[in-house]
Structures are given as structure tokens and as C-alpha cells.
Amino acid sequence: MIDFLFLALTLGVSAGFAPGPLTNFVIQQTLKHDLNSGVKVAFSPVIVDIPIVILSILLASYISDSKMFLMFVSLVGSAYLFYLAYENFKVEQIVLDKNMPNKSFRQGLVIGALSPNPYLFWIAIGTPILLQILNEFSLSVVFAFLATFYFSLVGSKVFIAYMAAKSKKFLKGKVYFFIMKFLALLLAAFAVKLIFDAIGYIN
């Protein structure tokens, strides 16, 4: 059991610190709004992955048939990332209107749902581990594995948001805008990568 919990911790931290659209968005929202916005995005995988975990289990015996679905998700996710990249690239001034609704959590949910990464993880890695735990232990150990995984994943992204917030006060003038545009380019790069991933599913 300890081995599985250590594995969950390792996988969670690795996924939390891994560069990707969601990590990039955590940093963007922290810089664009505040630490609370970044933390909201950091918690989005907990909500998004619930149906993904269930779906991956249902599709466990039909992995080969899921390629067209993953291709579709990659293309839709790519389009949305291009949209986010455009929105951040055109930023010309910091808007501090506190009456404006903050949609960081909602956008984080969309990014998570449209990224093929959680689907690939749970279909190729997560589901086999969960099935192995059920065969060797009990359902309570499965929940312990999931709790450890998401605690480490979310905790890693919250740490990233905190570090971004700490550096926010040092961002003056053009530095902020250069960073936002650089992050927008990263989002666009991830969008291009999703297109190539989609093409790869065809082969």
C-alpha cells in the first residue's frame, strides 16, 4: 500500500510541476488577477478529472477505439488555446476592476476538459493502477491513492501560483506586458502541439 501512495505522490508532483497549458494558465491568471485566481485554476483538475476517471475505466477495454475521440479533443483544445493566446497577447493595460467577474476557475475547467493529457494519463497509466489496487487491496486504498495524487498535484500548482504572486510586485511597466505576451506565445505553442498530437492519432 505504501508503494502505491508513494507512486501517487510522485505522479502528482510530476504532473503538477510539468509545463503545460494548465500550469501556464495558473501563472497567467495569478499575474493578471491575483493569487486567489491562480489557486482556483490549480484546483480545477479535481473537478475535471472526476468524469475522466470514470470514462477511462469504461474505455479501458476499448483503448484503440478512443483515438478518434482523443483526436477530436485535441483539435477543440487547440482552438481554445489559440483563443486564450490571442486574449493574452492583445493585453495593453492592467485592468483592476474588482466588479468584473473572475472566470479563472471556469476557464481552468475548460482547459482541463479539452486537453488530452488527463485522458491519456488515466487511460494509459491511472486506470491500470486503480485496477491493480482493487485486485490487491480494497476500495479505500483506491480513494487513498486518488487523494494523495490530487493533493500533490494541486499543491504543486498552488506553489507555482504563490511564487508567481510573490514576484508580481516586481513587475513594473513593460515587464508585465512582455511576460503576458511570452506566456501567450507559450499557449500558442501548446495549441500547435495539440494539432500535431491530433495528427498523430490518425497514424
How far is CA 151 from each of CA 12, 59, 100, 115, 187, rounded to the nearest angstrom?
7, 26, 30, 20, 25
Residue with cell 511576460: 179
Across residues 33-54, what is the average pLDDT?
88
Q: Please say if the pLDDT value at position 163 is more than 80.
A: yes
Tens of pLDDT, residue by residue over 9-32, are 988 888 888 767 888 888 888 887
Task: Tell me how far the alpha carbon of residue 137 is from its chain's centroid.
Answer: 29
Tell me the per-residue pLDDT of 51-96, one tens digit each, with 9 for 90 and over: 888 877 776 556 545 677 667 767 877 887 788 788 778 766 544 4
Distance, in Å, from the CA atom of 105 to the CA atom of 107, rounded to the nearest integer, reads: 5
For 153-189, b where at least 16 C-beta lie within 10 A, e where not — what string? Answer: bbebbbebbeebbeeeeebeeeebeebbeebbebbbe
Q: Determine the pLDDT at residue 168.
A: 62
* Region 104-116 average pLDDT: 79
pLDDT above 90: percentage of residues in the chain: 9
| DSSP structure class, residue 196 | H
Among 3-7, 72-76, 93-97, 194-198, the range scoring the smallest mean pLDDT is 93-97
Please report where in the chains the cell 471556469 appears, as a residue. Answer: 106
Predicted confidence at residue 100, as pLDDT, reads: 40
Q: What is the pLDDT of residue 99?
A: 45
Other CB atoms within 10 Å distance of the CB of residue 21: 26
- Give the pLDDT confidence of 168-187 residue by residue, as tens digits: 654 555 666 776 787 788 77
Q: What is the mean pLDDT of the chain?
A: 78
pLDDT at 95: 45
Residue 177 is predicted with a pLDDT of: 74
Residue 190 grid cell: 501548446
Q: What is the pLDDT of residue 102?
A: 52
Question: Are 163 and 23 contacting, i.e. CB atoms less than 8 angstroms apart?
Answer: no
- At residue 3, the pLDDT reads 83
Q: What is the pTM assigned to this prediction?
A: 0.72
Q: Among 37-41, 71-75, 147-151, which is the least confidently predicted range?
A: 71-75
